[in-house]
Structure formats: C-alpha cells, structure tokens
Homo-oligomer: A and B are copies of this chain.
Amino acid sequence: MVAVVIGVDLGGTVVRAGAIDQDANLLAVSQAPIEAYLGAQAGLARIIAVIEKALGEHADWHLLGIGFGATGPVDRRLGAIQNPFTLPGWENVPVVAPLREHFGVPVRLENDADVAALGEYWAGAGKGVRRLYAITLGTGIGTALICDGQIYRGLDGSHPDGGHQIIDPMGPVCYCGAKGCWESLAAGPAIARQAREVLLDFPSSRVLDLAQGDPNRIDAHMVAQAAREGDALGLAVMEKASWYFSLGLVNIITLFVPEMIVLSGGVMRSASLFMPAIETAVNDHNIMVPASQVRILPAQLGDQAGMIGAAYTIYQNG
C-alpha cells in the first residue's frame, strides 16, 4: 500500500489537485479552470472531480487525508471559503465538511499563501529553516511566516496580510483601506497603472507597442519586458516598483529577521529587475538587525508549492 495525501490549491482561476506521498513526491496531478462565476455549487463539484482524477484507479493507494489551500480569506474554524474578491459569489462556502463526507478522510483548510510557504519549508528552498518568510509578488502580494515548521497565526488563527503594510502614506488608495500599502505600490496592477500614468512622458516607449496601442491592455509583464529591452519607460517604472518592493522587504526583515525569505509569483519572473534594488536596500538597513545575513532566494516549487504544502498539513498533523 502507498499512503497518499491529496493537496488542493484553489486560486482565482484554476484548481489543482496533487497526490503526494510522505516524501513530498507528486505522484499524480490534475487541474481544471474553476470558473467561479458558475457558483460555489458547480465549483465544489469541479473540485471533487479534479481530486478524483488525481487519485485515479490505484488499488494500492491509501488516502490519508486532503489538505486544501484556498485563495484567502478563509475561515478555518468553519472550514469555509469567504472570498467575494477573487472568487466572486463564494461567500461562506463550506469546503471541509462536503469533502470529508465525500471522501471519508480528514480535511484541513488553510490560506493559499500559508500552504505555499509550508511547501517550500517541507520540500523546497526553505527545508528545515526555522524562520521562513515567503512573499508572492503577482496580481497581489501574499505573505506567510513559517515558524519552526508551523504556520504563524494571529488572533483566532487569522492570517496576517503583510502585502497590505503601509509603505508610503502619500500613495494610492487600496481596496484594503490603506493609502500606499505595499501591494498598491509594487504588485502587478500597480506597475501597469504607473506605466499608464507616465505614457505621455515617453511617447516612443515600447510598452504601448506591446499593448498593441491600447493603454488599457498594458500589464506588468509588458512593462518588465520593455525594461529588459532597455526601454526608458519600462526601466523607470520597474525602478520605482522595485524600490517600493525593497522597502516592504526591508520592513519584513526589520520586523521578523527571518533566516530566509523565498520569493515567488508572476512578477518575480522578472527577479533580475528587482534584485539590485533589494540588495541596495538590505545593505542600507543592516544596522539594527543583521539584514545582510538573511538569505533571499527564489522559491523552488513553482506552481506545485501550494499542493505540496497543503498535503504537508495532513502529514504534519497525523
């Protein structure tokens, strides 16, 4: 018999399920678009189908449990997803009870940033690191702290949200209630917005070509690509965004002094554009805490981190 755990990673667009053994090997994987607009009922049926496909027909497999990482916010006590932002209409959607009933095994629900960090701790860049901080830079900024192998939780088990720390109180208004929070200054949409704002100053910029002449189509990847090609607008916007990103990162170091910070997410594919600003900022803030000793590395597990970390919540808790 092979003991396996299903790790589920539910994002705003795709749900993935992986069958994972106790050595963190991904034995099988399955995925499907979640199409949240079809509603929670249809979504749950799709999640069950994806899990069943990952499990397949293995007479020698023994399912120990299901770990479930979902785009936050989640309510761990109710075992429910509460997310009208990235999963429109999914407010107070129980997932733990239906999956437990359907599969007859323990189910654990966690925030997706937490399980991705836990995956890197178990099987990725942060193996055995006692203070591991994970930052995902993409459409938003997700953060998680793994403390001695355990997800750090705040009051009532809540998930802190470092992406919304205030970096510049004169900055733009964010949906989180803050002005100038990290996400509003350094995440993908902020990069695209800043590019649109300075378009007139750079009439010959590549960015508008990449967007096929339509400013509304500009996204962070186009800005980063233009920057890599030496485009002045791209370089200016990426320099500003990476400066803001590095300020938030320095705050994480000042407040947590983690042994390691792992970086992931779509915008981090342009890591080469961010690293000079990060290195400068770390060196400039090395007085009160040993900032330069913090290892800052790319995450290793990519899209699999969430599934692997979700599975680990079951192995970890027996």
Contact = CB atoms under 8 A, between A and B. Distances in A.
List the number of copies, as a whole number.
Answer: 2
Given A155-B290, A247-B166, A254 B175 contact: no
Interface residues on A, range: 35 or more
Nearest to A284: B177
A316 interface: no
Interface in A154-179: 154-156, 158-162, 164-170, 175-178
Given A166-B247, A167-B169, A154 B286 contact: no
A154 B285 contact: no
Given A73-B288, A168-B168, 14 more contacts: A147-B147, A154-B258, A154-B259, A154-B289, A155-B257, A155-B290, A155-B294, A160-B255, A160-B289, A164-B288, A166-B247, A166-B251, A177-B287, A255-B256
A76 interface: no
Interface of A: 73, 131, 143, 147, 152-156, 158-162, 164-170, 175-178, 247, 250-252, 254-259, 284-290, 293-294
A288 B161 contact: yes
Contacts of A160: 254-257, 289
Contacts of A284: 177-178
B169 A154 contact: no
A161 B250 CA distance: 11
